[in-house]
């Protein structure tokens, strides 16, 4: 394998969670360990200027939430780590779903106080669907939360995954004293408002040693011995193969805001997490060790730097070596393109790179050539598969408030929907532009960005649609007839694919049963 050394030192993963579970805080602690940043930002407070490194859009800084996936690259102990911090808010779930197609593994953050929440379930469904290896970090142990055994049982039941504790907590909330590392048999003691260090770890090979009683007290030492005996009897040693197959998730307990328990997880992660893997395409499986370059675009972000109106396509390198200023084949457009300034990222800061290897996520300056799912190769024609577009849940008509800015509005809507923040449908028999989103907050973001970035004012009118279904049929005439008869409920997406907009579940089920020759799809795979 030509680039074996470079491939084997790379780890590409996403951090996912429900909003407010501590995902962005954990991201920053990992960056601190990697030396990529020197001080952590304040995520929540609008008054504090040092915002979270990974939240770079103005609206994110106002709201204190992440609404776009950020890419950060840093080195840790000779490993090159590509970390993707995803939006936790459910209204931006689709961005997260697509990001999961570009990573090899996932760290799932769970709030020990709230346990498994709705968004966590959705995200894990996508991971399960793709057999993505998952490590669980149970956060906020310094707050009064659920019983540790009850919490593990809830996670296993709700997320349908087997857990394997790697560290074990001593109490929680104000009584939280630290964690015992089952892997290297050491005790890490917790002191509020101070960050733990490697030197703070106390080696305790024998839990019956009196040293444990001295450090945590007799009562807590007795409880820890009882807990560990039970945990080891049930779980034994971690089976790394089962973790890599997405069947077992190692679990760590800690407090990200106090930087406690994070290093233990990071050390285990770089040891067991998968190196970049091969990927399926429309023609064949592309192996990670192939000499020839290939990669796909999983995210597009316009106006990363508002001063320059730039547009960046985020690309995952899948095989071979990407080189600056070399021509590559854009499969969909059937033309060759070269990139003079490819970037690696640390959130808003960009560094021009000379080359990139499988597993790397790079930013390509885009003048409108890219859409989500586009593939670049060294000449071969194929698409990487499995990049989904989901059916929206809320539909609104886009209304232009300033006819003088029609061109700016159309350009803005085109670019923002290319990014994947929303879907654009054009109603058959008319020019009505319909925006479909997963949640209300997306409309706010679109309205805000159209005004701030394109100078176009718009408003939205709610439409009575329940779901969008993409239509396919082996009988083109029957499909054409259906679209003609149902013109008020028919549209095409921005790729020209026919879509049925159902008013309700009843209408949808009726049309499905009345039209057996037409297939109704709830997701549309990009490029399929």
Domain(s) labelled CATH 3.30.70.3280 in the chain stretch across 388-525
Hey, is 13 helix, strand or coil? strand
Domain(s) labelled CATH 3.40.50.300 in the chain stretch across 4-272, 279-377
Task: Give the C-alpha separation, 298 to 301, whole Å.
Answer: 10
Match 């396919």 to its residue by tokens: 472
Q: What is the DSSP string of 14-65?
A: EEEESTTSSHHHHHHHHHHHTTS-SSPPPSS-SS-S---TT--SHHHHHHTS
- Encoding tokens for residue 281? 């395409």
**For the stretch 160-169, what's the b/e string if a residue is b when 16 or more beta carbons lie within 10 angstroms of its beta carbon?**
ebebbbbbbb
Q: Residue 506: count other Cβ atoms within 10 Å of its Cβ.
A: 10
Task: Give the C-alpha separation, 303 to 321, whole Å.
Answer: 28
> What's CA 440's distance to the chain center, in Å?
20
- In whole angstroms, how far apart are CA 300 and each of 415, 420, 421? 9, 7, 9
Match 């577009």 to its residue by tokens: 389
Task: Give the C-alpha separation, 439 to 430, whole Å.
Answer: 26
Per-residue pLDDT of the chain in tens (528 residues, 90 and over written 9): 778 899 999 999 998 888 788 888 888 888 888 776 655 543 333 332 334 444 445 544 554 444 344 678 888 888 999 888 776 445 455 667 778 888 999 999 999 988 888 778 878 887 888 889 999 999 999 898 888 999 999 999 999 999 999 999 998 888 888 899 988 888 888 876 665 554 567 888 788 888 888 888 899 999 999 999 999 898 888 999 999 999 999 999 999 888 888 989 999 999 999 999 999 999 999 999 999 999 999 888 765 555 545 678 889 999 999 999 999 999 999 999 999 888 776 544 567 888 999 999 888 888 778 888 899 999 899 999 877 677 788 899 999 999 899 999 998 888 888 777 788 999 886 678 999 987 787 788 888 888 888 899 999 999 999 999 999 999 999 999 999 999 889 999 888 899 999 999 999 999 999 999 999 988 776 555
- In whole angstroms, how far apart are CA 232 and each of 115, 164, 167, 211, 224? 23, 10, 11, 21, 12
Looking at the domain 279-377, which fold is it? Answer: Rossmann fold (3.40.50)
Task: Give the C-alpha separation, 293 to 316, whole Å.
Answer: 11
Alpha helical stretches, state H, 336-467: 406-418, 440-454
CATH class of the domain defined by 4-272: alpha beta
Is the CA virtual torsion 33, 37, 40, 45 positive or negative? Answer: negative
Task: Give the C-alpha separation, 381 to 333, whole Å.
Answer: 11
**What is the architecture of the domain spanning 388-525?**
2-Layer Sandwich (3.30)
């Amino acid at each position: 394998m030509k680039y074996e050394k470079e491939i084997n030192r790379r780890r590409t993963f996403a951090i996912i969670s429900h909003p407010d579970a501590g995902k962005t805080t954990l991201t920053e602690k990992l960056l601190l360990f990697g030396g990529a940043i020197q001080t952590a930002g304040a995520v929540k407070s609008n008054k504090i200027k040092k915002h979270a490194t990974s939240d770079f859009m103005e609206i994110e800084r106002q709201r204190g939430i992440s609404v776009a996936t950020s890419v950060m690259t840093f080195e840790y102990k000779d490993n090159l780590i590509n970390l993707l911090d995803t939006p936790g808010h459910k209204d931006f779930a689709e961005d997260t779903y697509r990001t999961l197609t570009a990573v090899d593994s996932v760290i799932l953050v769970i709030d020990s106080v709230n346990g498994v929440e709705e968004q966590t379930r959705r995200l894990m469904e996508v991971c399960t669907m793709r057999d993505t290896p998952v490590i669980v970090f149970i956060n906020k142990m310094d707050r009064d939360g659920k019983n540790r055994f009850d919490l593990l049982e809830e996670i296993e039941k709700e997320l349908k995954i087997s857990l394997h504790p790697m560290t074990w907590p001593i109490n929680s909330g104000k009584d939280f004293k630290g964690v015992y590392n089952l892997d290297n048999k050491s005790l890490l003691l917790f002191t509020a408002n101070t960050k733990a260090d490697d030197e703070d770890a106390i080696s305790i090979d024998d839990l019956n040693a009196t040293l444990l009683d001295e450090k945590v007290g007799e009562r807590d030492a007795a409880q820890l011995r009882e807990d560990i005996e039970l945990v080891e009897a049930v779980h034994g040693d971690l089976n790394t193969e089962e973790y890599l197959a997405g069947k077992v998730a190692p679990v760590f307990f800690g407090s990200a805001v106090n930087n406690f328990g994070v290093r233990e997880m990071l050390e285990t992660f770089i040891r067991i997490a998968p190196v970049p893997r091969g990927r399926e395409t429309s023609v064949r499986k592309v192996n990670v060790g192939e000499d020839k370059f290939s990669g796909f675009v999983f995210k597009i972000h316009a106006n990363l730097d508002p001063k320059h109106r730039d547009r960046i396509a985020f690309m995952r390198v899948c095989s071979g070596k990407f080189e600056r200023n070399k021509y590559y084949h854009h499969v969909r457009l059937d033309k060759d393109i070269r990139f003079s300034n490819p970037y690696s990222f640390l959130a808003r800061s960009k560094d021009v790179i000379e080359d990139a290897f499988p597993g790397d996520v790079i930013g390509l300056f885009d003048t409108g050539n890219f859409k989500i799912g586009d593939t670049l190769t060294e000449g071969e024609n194929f698409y990487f598969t499995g990049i989904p577009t989901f059916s929206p849940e809320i539909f609104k008509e886009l209304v232009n408030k300033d006819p003088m800015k029609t061109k700016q509005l159309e350009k803005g809507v085109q670019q923002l929907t290319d990014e994947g923040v929303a879907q654009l449908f054009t109603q058959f028999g008319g020019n009505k532009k319909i925006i479909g989103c997963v949640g209300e907050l997306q409309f706010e973001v679109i309205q805000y960005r159209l005004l701030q970035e394109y100078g176009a004012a718009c408003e939205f009118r709610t439409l009575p649609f329940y779901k969008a279904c993409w239509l396919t049929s082996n009988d083109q005439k029957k499909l054409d007839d259906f679209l003609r008869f149902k013109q008020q409920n028919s549209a095409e997406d921005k790729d020209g694919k026919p879509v049925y907009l159902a008013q309700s579940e009843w209408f949808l089920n009726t049309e499905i049963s009345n039209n057996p020759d037409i297939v109704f799809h709830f997701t549309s795979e990009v490029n399929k």
